[in-house]
Amino acid sequence: MTDPITVLVVEDEPPIRRFLRTSLSAQGYRVLEAESGAHALELLRGRLDVVVLDLGLPDMDGLAVLEALRRHSAVPVIVLSSRSNEKGKVRALDLGADDYVTKPFGMEELIARIRTAIRHRFQQQGERASFSTGGLDVDLVRRIVKLDGKEVKLSRKEDDILSLLTAHAGKVLTHQFIIREVWRTPTDVQYLRIYIKQLRQKIETDPHEPRYILTELGVGYRLHEPD
Ligand code: CA
């Protein structure tokens, strides 16, 4: 039998902590708990497979915990954010958090995010040669994109953006992350929006109701999970 996946829950509110402990244990995860940033920093030294991190902690900013962690560890981090802390959530993603859920959240949503983050972390870069979700097929080696079996011609930039989204399928990517990776120079978010719009016109069955490239309002974009 393999070791259970260990989740560190960093959250100061006892009812949420209890809820997470009960639900995650029921899924077979081993759960460690920290009620403060200081306690989290202690537990971060041990072996962990994923961290669920509340940004609003009593003794320190959750972002400071994340920064400290990223100095020595690439463990997947899912941030718990409140509706009133949109900026904190984007900042957390830019600091290397893998994903976020907004409070109040459903357990299914959190568990899906945890699974995606773990899978993504263990996946070798470039290991995936092709990607399919619904009617969308992307051949990453030959750079061929098909929608419902018909080949779609993409411009160089559109292709770069789709390849990046595909490499991180299921994960939210911030505007700044995409711009950094695709343009490599500071570029207005508006350009990214224009390219996403063009891309959707080519690869979405209904560009106004996108099913593949999903908008994360105020944050960035997420490509639908692969089939
Ligand atoms: Ca809190």
Q: How far is the CA of 11 from the centre of ligand 1 (A)?
A: 6
CA of 156 to the centre of ligand 1 (A): 44
Q: pLDDT tens across 88-110, in order?
A: 999 999 999 999 999 999 999 99
d(CA 134, CA 136): 6
Question: Is 209 part of any domain?
Answer: yes
Ligand 1 centroid distance, CA of 57 (Å): 5
Instruction: Please indicate, yes or no, whether residues 11 and 101 belong to a single structural domain of this protein.
Output: yes
Ligand 1: centre distance to CA 222 (Å):
26
Phi/psi region, residue 23 (left: phi>0; alpha: psi -120 to 50; beta: rest), is alpha
How far away, in angstroms, is 90 Cα from ligand 1 center?
17
Is 55 domain-assigned? Answer: yes
Task: Evaluate if pTM is beyond 0.75.
Answer: yes
Answer yes or no: are the C-beta atoms of 44 and 53 closer than 8 Å.
Answer: no
Asked whether residue 14 falls in the same domain as residue 111, the answer is yes
Beta strands per DSSP E along the chain: 6-10, 30-34, 50-54, 77-81, 99-102, 130-133, 136-139, 144-147, 150-152, 172-174, 213-216, 220-223
Q: What is the pLDDT of residue 26?
A: 94
pLDDT value at residue 128: 67
Which pLDDT score, from 0 to 100, does residue 1 have? 52
CATH of the domain at 40: 3.40.50.2300
- 53 C-alpha to center of ligand 1: Å? 9
CA of 117 to the centre of ligand 1 (A): 22
User: How many Å lie between the centroid of ligand 1 and the Cα of residue 92?
Assistant: 15
Is residue 1 a part of any domain in this protein?
Answer: no
75 and 143 housed in the same domain: no
The answer to whether residues 12 and 120 belong to one domain is: yes
Cα(9) to ligand 1 centroid in Å equals: 12
Span from the CA of 106 to the centroid of ligand 1 (angstroms):
17
The CATH number given to whatever domain includes residue 194 is 1.10.10.10
Same domain (yes/no): 38, 139? no
Establish if 100 belongs to a structural domain.
yes
From 90, 108, 125, the end of a domain falls on 125
Of 125, 158, 182, the residue at which a domain comes to its end is 125
Does residue 117 sit in the same domain as residue 178? no
The reply to whether 116 and 137 lie within a common domain is no
Domain residues for the domain of 96 are 6-125
10-residue mean pLDDT profile of the chain (227 residues): values are 86 96 95 97 91 96 94 92 87 94 93 88 64 90 91 95 90 94 93 97 95 95 90
CA 41 to ligand 1 centroid distance, Å: 16
**Cα-to-centroid distance, 34 and ligand 1 (Å):** 12
Query: In the listed set 77, 98, 125, which residue is the last one of a domain according to the structure?
Result: 125
Number of domains in the chain: 2
**In contact, 199 and 189? CB cutoff 8 Å:** no
What's the CA-to-centroid distance between 61 and ligand 1, angstroms?
A: 10
Together in a domain, 156 and 101 = no
| Token reading at 210 | 């996108």
Residue 125 has a pLDDT of 46
**Same-domain pairing of 59 and 14:** yes
203 and 135 assigned to the same domain: yes
Residue 39 CA to ligand 1 center (angstroms) comes to: 14
